[in-house]
């Protein structure tokens, strides 16, 4: 009976460790480390999961199709000196996208020699009021997002998963972002 708590502690420790990672070359400018169990999303998956008029640079999902990592870019008039303003702008944007946001961190961090704005937060979207008897539950997510400015582009690196999987991914998501290399 003394072994049960010990094995429980081992399982808890292993659950909160970053997954085995492999280096992935996204394109000539971007390399990143991703968990071995993350695979590129199909076009159909991208259409059903991602909003936007343009396809992302890259989109990955885990085997269970629960955790997603997406890379996007857009033309930008932001300069690298504008990173503090960029942080304020995107924080405001994040807060307007969700009904409730709880930030665990929001900071400007140097990653591989480049400044990034990093947000880690839990979000909740409440169901719309309905006149039907069907009860809807809120959509809760764990998010880890990084923005940077590079070659007149704003790059977005976004990890998200349902809140119930947060403890499984909370060490892996930062490891992914810390591995970003832009050439």
pLDDT, tens digit (0-9, with 9 covering 90-100), for 62-83: 999 999 999 999 998 888 899 9
CB neighbour list of residue 114: distance below 8 Å, 6 or more residues apart: 148, 150, 182
CB neighbour list of residue 24: distance below 8 Å, 6 or more residues apart: 31, 32, 33, 34
Query: What's the pTM?
Result: 0.86
| Residue matched to tokens 């708590």 | 5
Domain boundaries, the chain: 19-182
**DSSP letter assigned to residue 54:** S
* CATH number 3.40.50.2000 is the correct assignment for the domain at 19-182: no
Long-range contacts of 20-27 (CB under 8 A, 24+ apart): 21/175, 21/176, 21/179, 23/179, 26/57, 26/58, 26/71, 27/57, 27/58
The CA distance from 107 to 20, in Å, is 26
| Residue 39 banded pLDDT, cuts 50, 70, 90 | very high
Contact of 174 with 120, CB cutoff 8 Å: yes
CA max distance for the chain: 63
pLDDT, tens digit (0-9, with 9 covering 90-100), for 130-175: 556 666 789 999 999 999 999 889 999 999 999 999 999 999 999 9
User: Average per-residue pLDDT in the chain?
Assistant: 88
CB neighbour list of residue 64: distance below 8 Å, 6 or more residues apart: none
**DSSP letter assigned to residue 125:** E
What is the full DSSP assignment across 149-169? EETTEEEEEEEEEEGGGHHHH
The CA distance from 154 to 74, in Å, is 5
| Residue 9 banded pLDDT, cuts 50, 70, 90 | very low
CA 152-79-176 angle, 5° bins: 70
Contact of 89 with 76, CB cutoff 8 Å: no
pLDDT, tens digit (0-9, with 9 covering 90-100), for 76-133: 888 889 999 999 999 999 999 999 999 999 999 999 999 999 999 999 999 886 556 6
The CA distance from 24 to 71, in Å, is 13
Contact of 146 with 117, CB cutoff 8 Å: yes
């Amino acid at each position: 009976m003394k072994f049960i708590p010990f094995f429980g502690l081992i399982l808890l420790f292993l659950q909160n460790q970053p997954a085995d990672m492999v280096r992935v070359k996204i394109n000539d400018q971007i390399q990143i480390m991703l968990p071995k169990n993350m695979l590129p999303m199909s076009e159909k998956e991208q259409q059903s999961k991602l909003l936007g008029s343009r396809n992302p640079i890259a989109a990955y999902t885990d085997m269970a199709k629960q955790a997603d990592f997406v890379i996007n870019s857009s033309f930008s008039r932001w300069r690298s000196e504008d990173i503090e303003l960029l942080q304020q702008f995107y924080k405001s944007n994040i807060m307007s996208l969700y009904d409730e946001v709880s930030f665990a961190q929001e900071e400007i961090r140097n990653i591989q020699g480049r400044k990034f704005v990093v947000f880690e937060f839990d979000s909740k979207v409440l169901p719309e009021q309905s006149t039907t008897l069907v009860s809807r539950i809120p959509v809760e997510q764990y998010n880890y997002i990084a923005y940077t400015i590079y070659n007149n582009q704003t790059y977005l690196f976004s990890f998200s998963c349902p809140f119930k999987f947060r403890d499984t991914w909370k060490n892996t998501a930062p490891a992914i972002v810390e591995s970003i290399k832009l050439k």
